Structure 1
Amino acid sequence: MADASPPQTVDRHLDRIQLLFEGGLYRQTLDAIATALEQHPYAEPLWLWQAIATDAIGNTEAAIETVLPLTNSQDAEIRKQANYLASIWSAPRLERPQNWNARVENLDRLGDRQEFVRGKAASAPTTPSPSFTEPPRPSANDPKPFPFWRTLIFIGAATLATTILFAALNS
């Protein structure tokens, strides 16, 4: 006889969903949400996570459709979060200037070159290139630099002594 385990609580589902999402496993997050919604179809936090994970996989339109009913939730926190997400996802996309984007070359064009294996150099050089020299590291015998605060004290004392000397000479 198969032992049916009792359904998990919403909180346990949410903990698992959050771990999957934070790990970047968005499709698995959606699968976990679907399983949780089968057991708890009216749990609004699950629907909120459904919208967030749906947006994370790039389907913003479906995320908006999922979050819009939650903007009328009886739970003030769910309503607040749903309104916030809906406003972000519905906002017009701003065009970024080209100089804001970094261009990364596609390494696939290297083809069959032997010196590259899965994006890493097969025989990486052990010495730095001639165009870059590492700054020298301080040794134990190097003198310690004069602390900045001592310089300030010296300047202050010299100014005070000069002021007293001129005051004495002028009186």
Structure 2
Amino acid sequence: MACASPPKHCATCETLSAEQKQKPGILLCVGCQKHFCSEHIIQHRQYLSDLFENEVVYNRNALTKKVLALGNQEWPINIKTQLETINIWEQDTIELIKQSAACARKQLEEMALKESNKLKKQFSLLSDDLNKLRESENYFENDIDQLKNKFQRLAYDIEHFPFEISINEIPNELILVKSIIQSAPYFPTSYCFID
């Protein structure tokens, strides 16, 4: 004859006062691994739904304005700063340097546009995941944490485009502008040469 293991009590019922009867936990939440009675599983699902809306959906909605601004010349401050560096350098040089500045601007904006398109695509994919989970109501704490972290990382990436520039001169021979260095490995370094 098999030994029956003691029944698991509902995680919510266990927190109630001693005078209230504790009910057996007949349903397991696969996210938090706690058992709940039929009454408290509904409350737990409502808690998860509220958490999902308040943590993940709210953050996604707050990020929407920033995502829509990507690529519309409303660059984050570090991109604006890089463009200003190019403008100051241009003013301090002769006509030949203006051509290099135009080349550097074009490359920076093209790379930033590619990056913004990548970030928009990531946002769209994350939003699709969020909507699928919301519609199916098939999410748990770990899903909420993962989506929340992914939206926070995306917000960080939007605020901190991974670009740097440096301007190097070779006197009396050739002016070389090492245009844009992106910290991500998928863009090759490019150069503008002027004789």
Asked if Structure 1 and Structure 2 have the same fold, meaning a TM-score greater than 0.5 normalized by the shorter chain, the answer is: no
The TM tier, using the shorter chain, reads under 0.3
TM-score when normalising by structure 1: 0.22
Which entry has the higher C-alpha Rg, 1 or 2?
Answer: 1
Q: Point out which structure has higher relative CO (alpha carbons under 8 A, 6+ apart).
A: 2
Give the strand-richer structure, 1 or 2: 2
